[in-house]
Amino acid sequence: MSATSLEGAYFRHLSEGFAAAGHEFHCGTLGQDRPPAWAASSPPARYFALGATGRRDWVRAAVRLARYVRRNRIDVLQTHLVHGALVGTIAARLAGTPLLVHMRHHIDDVRLSGSALHVAADRLLAAAADAVLVPSHAAKRYLSEVEHLDPERITVSHLGFDVNTLGGTAEDRERVRAQLGLDGQLVVGCVARMSPNKGHSYLFEAVNDLTTDLPDLRLVLVGEGDAAPYRDAARRAGIAGRTLFLGQRSDVPACLRAMDIVVLPSLSESFSQVIIETLAASRPLVATDVGGAREVVSDGDNALLIPPRDSGALRDAIHRVATDDALRARLVEHSRPSVLRFSVSAMVSDHLALYARATPRRWAPRAGGRRAL
């Protein structure tokens, strides 16, 4: 059994917050994943796996979920990602669930790289839900203006973070740099999955252009996915010898602390967790001005924002941060304080307010309260 995507802090925070408000929390996956590790130590959270190993199992999974929802008197069914939303939408309608919420994590990623079927499914599933949760005002604007969803049905809830767990330490920095042989090097890093939408190709071009002025520059890439095409791209860009591919890491805060400059060259973002993590680690940040970036950072204050798809602008921004001590110090000084407002309690309150607004009589906080999924 593989680890479930529910391992993320988002779901753990919801579980803890809902339990504190007197509600039950159920969570599950389409496949046969093992329960998230936090489920055993957090306030009671019930986990289920629907056992779907492929598309042929989705109808059966929807029926199983509908039965589970009815049996446990679930008031709110919240879905994530397109496959879960498809199964969850069918199940909610079969079970007569009072409120179906679809969490839309992205803006136009699917339009940039997905199929026409995936784009249509995204739009239809959002329209089929009673409410849509998005992590940024930019995402709400996109759903309203491009997909023509009623803005009254869209709720913005910025992701919440326990900033104290994200900072890393000076010891982490020295340990990771020693392990990777980066002592004395200028380390430019990127934390992002291996996907064309993350803009790695523009970063490779920028780094190649910087090697003359910054000969000790090293590029460190952290992120899941097939790295083979990106290794080939780094080789074509002439930077293979100065690029490290670390893959997926469980110590991202430590890796961020090991970087001198963090770069996020994405072509599309809804609300980038990496921006929050970078600022929490007090690292200078260069990011593309896409999606909800300006809801988190101010250009020149706690980050440098550049246009997407522009390797020249990316090169110049990295060079500025690397060579301007005063700029670098200002970015670091203003980084961590700027993310404290993205709290877990605010995120949980946003979710509960949405549920209460849609199902007021069922969702009023009370001891031994109703149930969430």
pLDDT digits (tens, 9 = 90+) for 242-256: 999 999 998 999 999
Is residue 303 within 8 Å of residue 297, measured between CB atoms? yes
Q: What pLDDT shows up at residue 43?
A: 67
Which domains are assigned to the chain?
5-160+343-372 (3.40.50.2000), 164-339 (3.40.50.2000)
Half-sphere exposure of 83 (CA within 13 A, CB side): 13
Question: Average pLDDT for residues 220-242, to the nearest whole number?
Answer: 97
Average pLDDT across the chain, whole number: 91
Give the confidence band of 368 by pLDDT, cuts at 50, 70, 90.
very low
pLDDT of residue 367: 43
pLDDT tens string 289-348:
999 999 999 999 999 999 999 999 999 999 999 999 999 999 999 999 999 999 999 999
State which amino acid sits at residue 43.
P
Q: Is the pTM of this model over 0.85?
A: yes
More confident residue, 134 or 123: 134
pLDDT level of residue 3 (50, 70, 90 thresholds): low
Please state the rounded mean pLDDT for residues 22-39: 90
Q: What are phi and psi of 154, to 5 degrees?
A: -110, 125
DSSP string, 131-190: EEEESSHHHHHHHHHTS---GGGEEE----B-GGGT---HHHHHHHHHHTT-TT-EEEEE
pLDDT for the residue numbered 1: 43
Separation between Cα atoms, residue 323 and residue 325, nearest integer Å: 6
**What integer pLDDT is reported at residue 2 of this predicted model?**
53
pLDDT, position 360? 55
